[in-house]
Structure 1
Amino acid sequence: MVNRIVVGAHYGLKDWIAQRATAVVMAVYSVLMLLVLVLVQPGDFESWRGIFAHGFVKFATFLFVVSLFYHAWIGMRDLWMDYIKPTGLRLTLHVLTILALVGYTGWAASILWRL
């Protein structure tokens, strides 16, 4: 009989899938935006404003931003957990990373819906 000891936070598969899903969202958005930019060829602010005036483009861009920041959170959290051993410092870095990413998400939303 083999005694198996499970250790760790059990993030493995869930985070692996989340990383791949967010990467797919970002890749699809990048290809679609590249197509839009090739077709529209915005040269001035009004052209850019016209692209982002559509609700779908705003939503897709916000979905990209949220995916990017969730992708970044998983990567940074794993980096902090793997390489920062003092618990207090690791917790501080986790909190600072979360605050920065949530702040960036709010900032991106305010920019997108201000246009």
Structure 2
Amino acid sequence: MVKRIVVGAHYGLRDWIAQRATAVFMVVYTVLFAAAALGLPEMTYDTWSGLFGGGLVRFFTFLFFLALFYHAWIGVRDIYMDYVKPVGVRLFLHVVTIFLLVGYAGWAAQILWRL
């Protein structure tokens, strides 16, 4: 009998589930948003402002972007861990990616609440 000793942080399953959950949320949001956008009487600035005028649409849109950025972080981090072997380079890429994704989240918040 082989006794397997599992060590480590066990991030794999948690990240796999998180990536699938964010993907499901993004698909549901995309379908609902497409239905709402196609249901607009015309594609003008006023109708788009009306669609985003409610706090609920802005909130779920911001959640969409947060889910997108977290989903991207998991994927890119895994690519770095698999293919970038020098630890210093990998750490540098992780830090740059984190700063970019957090910056994108702030930019998305600024755009959504600027209307």
TM bucket (normalised to shorter chain) is: over 0.9
> What residue identity is the alignment partner of 1:22?
T
Number of equivalences: 115
Contact 1:26 1:68 in 2 (8 A): yes
Give the structure 2 partner of residue 22 of structure 1: 22
Contact 1:73 1:98 in 2 (8 A): yes
Gap regions ≥5 residues in structure 2? none
- 1:25-64 aligned within 5 A: 25-64=25-64
CA distance 1:41–1:92, shift in 2 (3 Å): farther
What's the % identity of the aligned pairs? 63
Q: Deviations over 1:4-25 (max 9, x none)?
A: 2435552111011001100011
Dislocated runs of 4+, deviation >3 Å: 5-9
Q: Distance in 2 between matches of 1:9 and 1:85?
A: 20
TM-score, length of structure 2 as denominator length? 0.93
Q: Secondary structure at the match of 2:4?
A: coil
Question: How many angstroms does 1:85 deviate by?
Answer: 0.1
CA distance 1:49–1:109, shift in 2 (3 Å): same
Q: Distance in 2 between matches of 1:31 and 1:5?
A: 44
Question: How many angstroms does 1:74 deviate by?
Answer: 0.1
Give the structure 2 partner of residue 79 of structure 1: 79
Q: Deviations over 1:58-107 (max 9, x none)?
A: 00100000000000000000000000000000000000000000000000
> What residue identity is the alignment partner of 2:100?
A
